[in-house]
Amino acid sequence: MSFGDPNNPYGPPPQQPPAAPGYGYPQQPPQQPGIPPQQAYGYPQQQAYPGYPGANMVPQSMPGLLTTARVFLYIISAVQILGGLVYLYLGAFVSDVSDSADSLSSSSDDPFSELGDIGNAAAGLIAGIGVFCLALAALSITLGVKFGKGGQGVRITTVIYGALGTIAGLLFLFVGLDTGMASAVIFPLLWVVFGGVITAAPVVPSGTAWFNRPRY
């Protein structure tokens, strides 16, 4: 017997023809060269982590306008701290003057007694303004610090705070324009610019994306 005989039991088994794909079963498409299987032929791509190729558009650093607004908040807080200290000093000075007037008065009908009462009320009002300025300074610093990790609460508070500051600056600007003095216009104008930037920075798309970014 020859090995070529199909009836030879000692010969190699005959080769089977390739099986045809069965009906009703999905066929695996050939893999495209150089492309991972999960990205070939319309397979959905998994979302990449930030910082890797193919990552979604998530800001990895604070946008420039937000950085500027943060610097403006720190500058405003410095002005508010100085103003608060000046008002507290003036309040203490007026209080000392009113106490001196009280010590000079001999009766309730004495003009020095009335002057002392007015001085005490003025001292309390001036000191209250100083405390209010220091509270605003603390808020400005807190918002600036929270820009790095804050969410929607910091964003909304910053917008409201900046809008109120802009309105106050506009009021002082109108008053300064009525006086006709350049020195009375420059400071309110700067305040309006600072307030406008602080208000707009969290509202623009880059600022909104920064406060909406995922935090790991």
Residues 111 and 164 in one domain: no
Q: What is the pLDDT of residues 100-135, one digit of tens each?
A: 766 765 555 555 566 667 878 888 999 999 999 999
pLDDT surpasses 60 at 203 = yes
Q: What is the residue-averaged pLDDT of the chain?
A: 77
Residues 163 and 133 in one domain: no
119 or 9, which is more confident: 119
Q: What is the pTM of this model?
A: 0.67
Q: Does residue 44 sit within a domain?
A: no
CA–CA–CA angle 92, 96, 97 (5° rounding):
120
Q: Does residue 3 sit within a domain?
A: no
Q: How many structural domains does the chain have?
A: 2
Residues 137 and 159 in one domain: no
pLDDT of residue 100: 76
Residues 172 and 210 in one domain: yes
Report residue 186 CA to chain centroid gap: 27
Q: Does residue 55 sit within a domain?
A: no
Residues 182 and 164 in one domain: yes
Of 118, 116, 121, nearest to 101 by C-alpha is 116
The residue range of the domain holding 172 is 148-216
Residues 133 and 165 in one domain: no
Q: Which of 141, 163, 181 is the last residue of a domain?
A: 141
